[in-house]
Amino acid sequence: MLTSTPTRRPLHIHPTKETAAHTEFQWQGIASDVINLAGSSSGTFVVKGGPGAGRSSFLRDVARAEIMSGTNPDSILFLTASKEAAVQTNRWLLSAIEQGFDNDIAIERVFSGSIARSVHSFAFAVLRHQAAHTPGALAPRLLTGAEHDSLVRDMLREHSERGADIWPERLRSALTTLGFARQLRDFLLRVAERGCTSEELRQYGQGCSRDEWSAAADFYDEYRATARLMGSNALNASELVRAAVDALDSDEELAESLNFDVILIDDSQFFDPLSSELVERFRSRARLTLVASEQSESVFRFRGGSTTYADKLAKTENTIHLSGTKRLAPPVAELAARVADATRHPESLRWAKEIRHQDAERLSDHSAEFGEADVRVLVSPSAEVAAVVDRVRRAHIVDNVQWKDIAVIVRSKSQAAPMRRGLLAAGVPVADDPTEIVLLEQPMVRAILQAVRCAVGEDLTNDELERLVLSPIGGGDPITFRCILRGLRRGFMKVEFDNPVRAAELTAITTTDDEDYGRSVFRAIDALRFILLGGELIDLTENLTAREKDLIMRVRSVIQAGQEAFYGGESVEAILWAVWDAAGLSEALANQSLRGGAVGSMADQHLDAVMSLFDAAGDYVERHPHSTITSFVRFIVEQELPTGARDRRGPVREAVDVSPAHATVGKEWDTVVVAGLQEDVWPSLSETGTIFRQEEFVDFLDRGVEPGRPENRRGRYDDRLAEERRLFLVAVTRARRSLLVTAVGPHVSDDGTVDSDADIRSRFLEELAGDQALASSHGEPDAESSDSADLRALTSSGGSQTQSPLSVLPECEFPRVLSPDSLIAELRRVVESEDSSGHERHHAARQLARLALAAGDAPSRESVITAANPDHWWGVQELSTTKSLHDPETAYFISPSQVERYLECPLEAFLQSVETAGRDTTATLLGTLTHMAAEAMERGVDEGDVRDVFLATVPRLLGTLTWKKHDQIDKWTDMFDRLVEKLHLRYAAVTGHAEVEQVIESRIGQTSSGDDVYVRGKIDRLEISDVGKYYIIDFKTGNQVAKNIPDNPQLKTYQTAVAKSIDPQNTPSSSVSSLSSSRMSEECSADNCLAGAELIYPHKNPRKPTVQDPLTNDDVDAWASQLVDLALVMAGPHFAGSSDSQPDQNSRARSLSRVLVRKSASAPSFTPSNIEDAD
Which residues are documented as binding site for ATP? Answer: 49-56
**ω into 820 cis (within 30 of 0):** no
Which residues are documented as binding site? Answer: 49-56
Question: In Å, what is the CA distance from 1165 to each residue of 123, 326, 848, 983, 1161?
Answer: 73, 56, 12, 63, 12
Backbone φ and ψ for 25, nearest 5 degrees, come out as: -100, 150
The three-class DSSP label of residue 1019 is strand
In CATH, which of 1.10.10, 2.60.120, 3.90.320, 3.40.50 is domain 892-1139+1148-1154? 3.90.320
pLDDT number for residue 640: 66
Residue ranges of alpha helices (H) inside 230-321 are 237-250, 252-257, 273-283, 308-314
CA 517 – CA 522 distance, rounded (Å) = 11
For 439-638, give the CATH class. Answer: mainly alpha
Backbone φ and ψ for 695, nearest 5 degrees, come out as: -65, -35
Do 358-434+653-769 and 24-140+233-323 have the same topology in CATH? yes
Rg of the chain's alpha carbons, rounded to an integer?
Answer: 38
Alpha-carbon dihedral angle through residues 26, 27, 29, 33, given to the nearest 10 degrees: -100
CA 506 – CA 521 distance, rounded (Å) = 10
In CATH, which of 3.40.50.300, 3.30.565.10, 3.20.190.10, 3.40.250.10 is domain 358-434+653-769? 3.40.50.300
pLDDT number for residue 1016: 92
Q: Where are the domains positioned within the chain? A: 24-140+233-323, 358-434+653-769, 439-638, 820-872, 892-1139+1148-1154
Among residues 632, 746, 589, 625, the alpha carbon closest in space to that of 678 is found at: 746
Taken in order 777, 778, 784, 786, is the CA torsion positive or negative? positive
Instruction: Say if residues 1033 and 1023 touch (Cβ distance below 8 Å).
Output: yes
Residue ranges of alpha helices (H) inside 28-117 are 29-36, 55-68, 83-98, 104-110
Among residues 437, 377, 804, 866, the alpha carbon closest in space to that of 644 is found at: 437
Half-sphere exposure in the Cβ direction for 1056 (13 Å, CA) = 29
Instruction: Say if residues 97 and 67 touch (Cβ distance below 8 Å).
Output: yes
Cβ neighbours of residue 169 under 8 Å, at least 6 residues apart? none
Q: How high is the mean pLDDT in each 10-residue block of the chain (1175 residues)?
A: 35 36 69 83 87 87 86 87 84 76 48 77 87 78 76 85 82 84 85 82 85 87 79 75 86 82 89 86 88 85 79 83 84 86 82 75 55 85 90 91 92 86 87 70 86 86 85 84 82 73 71 48 78 77 82 88 88 89 86 78 82 84 82 80 58 82 88 89 80 81 72 73 88 91 72 58 77 45 37 34 38 72 85 82 87 55 63 72 83 90 85 67 78 86 87 74 71 86 83 85 89 91 87 84 83 91 55 42 61 86 82 90 92 76 54 54 42 40
CA 28 – CA 39 distance, rounded (Å) = 18
CA 104 – CA 98 distance, rounded (Å) = 8
The three-class DSSP label of residue 997 is strand
Question: In Å, what is the CA distance from 446 to each residue of 469, 478, 905?
Answer: 12, 18, 46
DSSP E strands, 901-1042: 993-1006, 1012-1024, 1030-1035
Question: In Å, what is the CA distance from 364 to each residue of 330, 535, 793?
Answer: 11, 79, 11
Among residues 701, 642, 662, the alpha carbon closest in space to that of 190 is found at: 701
Tell me which CATH code domain 24-140+233-323 carries.
3.40.50.300
Cβ neighbours of residue 252 under 8 Å, at least 6 residues apart? none
pLDDT number for residue 789: 37
Within 10 A of 98 (CB to CB), how many other CB atoms are there?
Answer: 14
β-pair partners for 613: none
Question: In Å, what is the CA distance from 342 to each residue of 93, 339, 801?
Answer: 36, 5, 9
CA 583 – CA 451 distance, rounded (Å) = 10
pLDDT number for residue 517: 43
pTM greater than 0.75 (yes/no): no
